[in-house]
Structure 1
Amino acid sequence: TNERRGVNLDTIPGVTKLRGIIGSIVEKTQLQHWLSLRTSADDVFTKMKLTPVKGNLLANPKIKVWIKYVDELNKKKPKAERVSAASVLAFRYGDERVSTMLNAALQDQTTTIKLQSQRLEDWMRLGMQPYDVFHLLKFEKHDILLNPVFSFWLKYVDKFNVRYPMQGSTRMEELSLALGNRAMAKVLEAGRKDGRTKAISAKLESQLLMEWGAKGFTPDDVFGMLGLKNIAGGGTGPILSDPVLKFWVRYMNEFNTKHPGKRTTIFDTLKKNYGDMALVDMIVAAKKVPKTKAAAKSLEAQLLNKWLKDKKQPREVEHWAFFDKSGEMIGKYTTLFNAQIK
């Protein structure tokens, strides 16, 4: 043999390329043979020895050849007998593992999106609820808006509503159901800060605020829906730096514009939901953080003015200022109170 004679054919120019061409011809001939026999997609998968590479099926270079085979095979079958490549993978690995593999292969968007689209079509035929589909797709919450399949899920919701109008819900209702209101607000707020997702985030937020407004939700209702009423139990220091609060403020502003007779403020809402002692804690904590210091000072001024308006004696508000260990707020209030009664 060539090996015994010490000849390495791979060192001869053009041999490696020739082997690739020959291998491709043999592979194509074999596929044509299987196609003529109408060998099932599952059997060809086995014959091609397709296995995941480091857990990622799409890293196997033969997977695209197999997907093409499935497409060609389906062209020879009546529509009712067609089986998608995605359904074969789901049968072999289960929906959750397929989702994990596809999410790990997002750099190959053409193949990933093709398979995900097939899965969505299969699930639609089965009448699967958008909520269940969302979780089967195994989206990562922190980058859901960056996942190209997310837009396909939104379209799935739309198609589901057309096909099953009695069961349908809006995109935002389904997203809220899948993530929860607070997590959804976090996703949309984070999306505003990323140039790649700013447009879709703004569009979804606009739809959401419009729907909440149409349902008659007040800013106080939404404050509770977003989990802002019990963000940290009795101690509420971090709330002013909570990104969800910014999201809520935009709803409040929109509500105030549409309902001037029912206007509310950040201060009024915080005071109503937390009370004076917790509000002082919030202000003290926020004044120590540069990015919330200005907001904290504004709230402090409003709180002191409210006490003055209610004619509270300094000794009456001392217990509310329990969290102000420096005594600064009580000192300010005492000065303002004494100046008022002169």
Structure 2
Amino acid sequence: MRVHHVVLLVAAAILATTNAALTLPQFMINSPKLTGSLLTAQQQRFLRTPYTEDDSIEERGISTVVEKTKALLSSSKVSEQTLERWVRNDKSPKKALIRLKLDKAGDKLLEKPQFETWAKYMTMLNKENPEAAMISTLRTRYSDDVLSQMTITAETASGTKEMAARLQAGQRSVWMSEWKSADDVFKLLKLNVNKADRKLFANPQFTVWTKYVDDLNGGETKKANSVIVSTLTDHHGDEGLAKLIRAAKDVEETKTLAMDLQKAQVDNWFVAMESPKDVKKWLGVKGATSDTAEAQLYHNYVKNYEKIFRKTE
């Protein structure tokens, strides 16, 4: 009971300040000369929009202050009955975060025991797609790249691995619902920032991005790889990307992906009917007798290229 009394006292103090802002004489409110000089910033803010209970309370932040006061004076542990009451009262996800003392967790959010409680509440509140609902709320506090990195870090711990996978799926779902292109998400994840990074393919954020591109293309790997190559070409150029791919082929961790993307790159060149001379340069083929994988790709390219031109003669 004492907690509720303190909360009510805090809220009452805020309401008293708010009411004072609304009791100015009408002639002062209507006077253009006096409005700017006599009305405080808070008073002007309240006079801009029609007064409604829900809007004004939300705007003044009263409910947020109350939640923070409850969090300060209460345990972060919440019972099943409390969660059910929150659902009945339709407590907002943001207020639930505050009540669970998660609003100051920073990038350690997913490691907090209370996060599981919040996730449970979000599942009760949004049965169809709780992961997307969680991401939508968290995006008001974290940028996409930071949120993604948090899930990547959480993947490495057994206690948070499953939650990390759920949130990554939720993040991709949100991007899809917003019609984000492959290039949009590439930039959201800040993968376009360091173009000199020779280990781009080993970046965990790159893996997050390629999973999104795969979802974007209905799980059709060949189509997804073509989009990946096209997007990377926009940022690195044909030759620059070809060099990145060759470097990634020398690393066991990224070798398979690099080989798939190299094939997709050559296929894209063929669709665009790039000249064999340019392809040879981009692939880094030296001399006519080279026996590298790139040389083999080049010779196959020339063979298919000449077939097309013989048919058109």
Calculate the TM-score normalised by the size of structure 1: 0.51
1:42 aligns with 2:94: yes
Q: 1:153 maps to what in 2?
A: 212
1:72 aligns with 2:124: yes
Summarize deviations over 1:16-66 as a string: whole Å, max 9, x none: xxxxxxx99843332232123222222211111114656332232322332
Q: 2:18 maps to what in 1?
A: none
- In 1, Cα distance between equivalents of 2:103 and 2:123: 20
Q: 1:214 maps to what in 2?
A: 271
Structure 1 unaligned regions, length at least 5:
1-22, 162-168, 229-238, 241-248, 264-342
Query: Are residues 82 and 116 of structure 1, via their aligned partners in 2, closer, same or farther at CA, if it must alter by over 3 Å?
Result: closer
Greater shift, 64-73 or 96-105, is seen at 96-105
| Counterpart code for 1:55 | D
Residue 133 of structure 1 deviates from its aligned partner by 0.7
Q: 1:197 aligns with which of 250, 254, 257?
A: 254
| Counterpart code for 2:138 | L
Query: Which aligned pairs between 1:91-170 and structure 2 lie closer than 5 A?
Result: 91-108=140-157, 109-139=161-191, 142-145=199-202, 147=204, 148-159=207-218, 170=227
Query: Are residues 92 and 143 of structure 1, via their aligned partners in 2, closer, same or farther at CA, if it must alter by over 3 Å?
Result: same
- In 2, Cα distance between equivalents of 1:221 and 1:157: 31
- In 1, Cα distance between equivalents of 2:85 and 2:96: 11
Q: 1:256 aligns with which of 299, 307, 311?
A: 299
Residue 111 of structure 1 deviates from its aligned partner by 2.5
- In 2, Cα distance between equivalents of 1:103 and 1:44: 24
Greater shift, 181-190 or 129-138, is seen at 181-190
Say which SS state the counterpart of residue 107 (structure 2) adopts.
coil
Residue 156 of structure 1 deviates from its aligned partner by 3.6
Residue 193 of structure 1 deviates from its aligned partner by 2.9
| Counterpart code for 2:258 | S
Q: 1:57 maps to what in 2?
A: 109
Summarize deviations over 1:191-234 as a string: whole Å, max 9, x none: 323333322222222122122123222343246668x8xxxxxx
- In 2, Cα distance between equivalents of 1:178 and 1:29: 52
Say which SS state the counterpart of residue 141 (structure 2) adopts.
helix
Residue 250 of structure 1 deviates from its aligned partner by 4.2
Query: Are residues 185 and 131 of structure 1, via their aligned partners in 2, closer, same or farther at CA, if it must alter by over 3 Å?
Result: same
Residue 97 of structure 1 deviates from its aligned partner by 3.2
Say which SS state the counterpart of residue 169 (structure 2) adopts.
helix
Calculate the TM-score normalised by the size of structure 2: 0.55
Q: For the Cα contact (< 8 Å) 1:135–1:178, is it kept in 2?
A: no
| Counterpart code for 1:117 | A
- In 2, Cα distance between equivalents of 1:160 and 1:123: 16
Summarize deviations over 1:81-136 as a string: whole Å, max 9, x none: 99611111111223343234334444244333322222222222222221011121
Query: Are residues 196 and 251 of structure 1, via their aligned partners in 2, closer, same or farther at CA, if it must alter by over 3 Å?
Result: closer
- In 2, Cα distance between equivalents of 1:56 and 1:184: 35
Q: 2:234 maps to what in 1?
A: 177
Q: For the Cα contact (< 8 Å) 2:132–2:167, is it kept in 1?
A: no
Residue 180 of structure 1 deviates from its aligned partner by 4.2
Query: Are residues 254 and 93 of structure 1, via their aligned partners in 2, closer, same or farther at CA, if it must alter by over 3 Å?
Result: closer
Residue 176 of structure 1 deviates from its aligned partner by 2.3
Q: For the Cα contact (< 8 Å) 2:233–2:241, is it kept in 1?
A: yes
- In 2, Cα distance between equivalents of 1:62 and 1:261: 60
- In 1, Cα distance between equivalents of 2:210 and 2:131: 26
Query: Are residues 259 and 181 of structure 1, via their aligned partners in 2, closer, same or farther at CA, if it must alter by over 3 Å?
Result: closer
- In 2, Cα distance between equivalents of 1:45 and 1:120: 22
Between the two proteins, the alignment pairs up a number of residues equal to 214
Q: 1:188 maps to what in 2?
A: 245
Matched-pair identity in %? 23
Say which SS state the counterpart of residue 300 (structure 2) adopts.
helix
- In 2, Cα distance between equivalents of 1:26 and 1:133: 36
Q: 1:340 maps to what in 2?
A: none
- In 2, Cα distance between equivalents of 1:178 and 1:116: 25
Q: For the Cα contact (< 8 Å) 1:146–1:196, is it kept in 2?
A: no
Q: For the Cα contact (< 8 Å) 2:76–2:114, is it kept in 1?
A: no
Q: For the Cα contact (< 8 Å) 1:130–1:156, is it kept in 2?
A: no
